[in-house]
Structure 1
Amino acid sequence: MSSLTVRLTDREERDLQLACEQTGKTKSEVVRDLLAESLRGYRLRQALQKAHTELGGAARQAGWLTEEDILQDKS
């Protein structure tokens, strides 16, 4: 496992400490959990942006502007 040093503002330090107290986890555990969650969201956004770039034009040509349009399309 590697380590990383991060500088926190006073507010971030207080928030992190509160999260530790509420969860019973160490600072490292809380930060790892939050980082993993954030990275999952980042990867999802990247995948959606890629799909939009690759498929957006075809979807608009098919008349799909929303997720509801796709679900209602019977073709």
Structure 2
Amino acid sequence: MGTTFTIRLDDKSEKALRELCTATGKSRSEVVREALRHEQLRVELAAIRAELVPRAQAAGWLTDEDVFRDVS
């Protein structure tokens, strides 16, 4: 299995979690694990973006059209 982790939620967050579980048919644990994975991915993508945006700007890629022009 894994580690058991206890969190405290305010009423609004608890209601949102309950509604999300009902809407998705997932358990609270599944919803929280998925949210953690999504947040981890968001942070990783933000770090990648922070590294690549200056490189793209230095190459003159400021818009999608700039990228398409050079890649096509």
Fold shared per TM-score above 0.5: yes
DSSP-derived class of the 1:32 partner: helix
CA 1:21–1:57 in structure 2 vs 1: closer, same or farther (change >3 Å)?
A: closer
CA distance in 1, matches of 2:64, 2:53: 12
Q: Once the two structures are aligned, what percentage of the paired residues are identical?
A: 37
How high is the TM-score relative to the length of structure 2? 0.78
Unaligned runs of 5+ in 2: none
Match of 2:66 in 1: 69
DSSP-derived class of the 1:73 partner: helix
How high is the TM-score relative to the length of structure 1? 0.75
Report if aligned partners of 2:21, 2:27 keep a CA contact under 8 Å in 1.
yes
Match of 1:38 in 2: 39
Per-residue CA deviation, residues 31-56 of structure 1 (Å, 9 max, x unaligned), is 11111122112211111111124x14
Amino acid at match of 2:45: L
CA drift at 1:72: 1.1
Q: CA RMSD in A?
A: 1.8
Unaligned runs of 5+ in 1: none
CA drift at 1:29: 0.6
Aligned length in residues: 70
Amino acid at match of 1:58: A
